[in-house]
Amino acid sequence: MVYVGIDLGGTGIKAGVVDENGRILSKVDCPTYLERGHEAVIEDMAKLALKAIDESGHTPEDVPYIGCGVPGIGLSDGTVPFCTNLGWHDVPLRALMQRVIDKPIYIDNDATVAALAESVAGISRGAQNSVFLTLGTGLGGGIVIGGKVYSGSHNIGSELGHMVVMIDGDMCTCGNRGCWERYASATALIKQGREAATANPGCAIAKSVGGDLDKIEARTVIDAAREGDEVAVAVFDRYCFYLSAGINTIINAIDPEIVALGGGVSHAGQFLLDGVRRHVAEHLFYRTMPYARIELAVLGNDAGIIGAAMLGR
């Protein structure tokens, strides 16, 4: 048995054929070109799936269903009510795709399918309960309970980046204040780095970009912190504190076996793990009990395809 997963993004669409163990057998991609409208994009998604099937040496008859990961919400009736970054609202994704592929279509949030991928073929493999966090432009989250993705009673669960961690805090793009992603995403780390460099123009963060603070990236702060710059060390430590605050809340609420960290900031590797693990341990509620391992996700950009392919199992 083989499965097809589609990973829909704002700039690109990826599709692949995956085996029972989460191994990718073929992978294809194309630009999204959102300006054409959702019908053209969804037609491309379907055609890309057929191309991936053909390149894997299989036929559509070998595939029981198609799974799709989208940067928004997917409902059981096959519609996408919200996909804000794509400008989609109440899009009948399943019905439109079935014009090209007459197969069952399963849809879920992109971070949720990445969580499923890590639980099937990645760092969380073998764990019944796990959480995946992607630390990028925003902070996405996916929850797996009992080996199955959990999206809540109305398919709007696992929006972990929008837990409020700071009452009356920074304004979030969602319209609320104090959301976790305003403090623990890559965007947040960049903001914190620019603020620190503005206050300390002689620090390594500012010097590394020649004083042009608009060029500061998450990596800029991380590299300066690795080198021991006091300002950068303080910024990164504060970032790890913010990230651990949300992880501690997740531990208290869900008690997973593993919390996996993915996305751009996770490329800091052990340096990130050391800081986050230390702060998580400092703020545990049950300090004498076992608690979730904090690990790095391992599937990278393939997680979207693998997780989507596993949705219907």
Q: Please list the pLDDT of the chain residue by residue as tens digits (313 residues).
A: 899 999 999 889 999 999 999 999 999 999 999 999 999 999 999 999 999 999 999 999 999 999 999 998 888 899 999 887 788 999 999 999 999 999 999 999 999 999 999 999 999 999 999 999 999 989 999 999 999 999 899 888 899 999 999 999 999 988 999 999 999 999 999 999 999 999 999 999 999 999 999 999 999 999 999 999 999 999 999 999 999 999 999 999 999 999 999 999 999 999 999 999 999 999 999 999 999 999 999 999 999 999 999 999 8
Report the top-level CATH class of 3-119+302-309: alpha beta
Q: What is the CATH number of domain 126-297?
A: 3.30.420.40
Q: Which two tokens stand for residue 210?
A: 């020649």
**Which among 39, 29, 64, 11 is positioned nearest to 309, based on CA atoms?**
64
* Cβ contact 293:251 at 8 Å: no
Sheet holding 12-18, edge to edge: 24-31, 12-18, 3-8, 66-70, 105-109
Range list of β-strands (E), 80-168? 80-83, 88-91, 105-109, 130-135, 139-145, 148-149
Pairing of strands 258-262, 130-135: parallel
Q: What is the pLDDT of residue 85?
A: 75
- Residue 86's pLDDT is 87
d(CA 52, CA 121) in angstroms, rounded, equals: 20
Domain edges within the chain = 3-119+302-309, 126-297
Q: Count the Cβ atoms, other than its own, within 10 Å of residue 272.
A: 21
**CA-derived radius of gyration, the chain:** 20
Q: How far apart are the first and last CA of the chain?
A: 11
Strand partners, 131: 143, 259
Domains 3-119+302-309 and 126-297 share a fold: yes
Q: Which helix (H) or strand (E) holds 127?
A: none
Cα-Cα-Cα-Cα dihedral of 49, 52, 56, 58, to 10°? Answer: 30
Does the predicted model carry a pTM greater than 0.85?
Answer: yes
Amino acid at 257: E
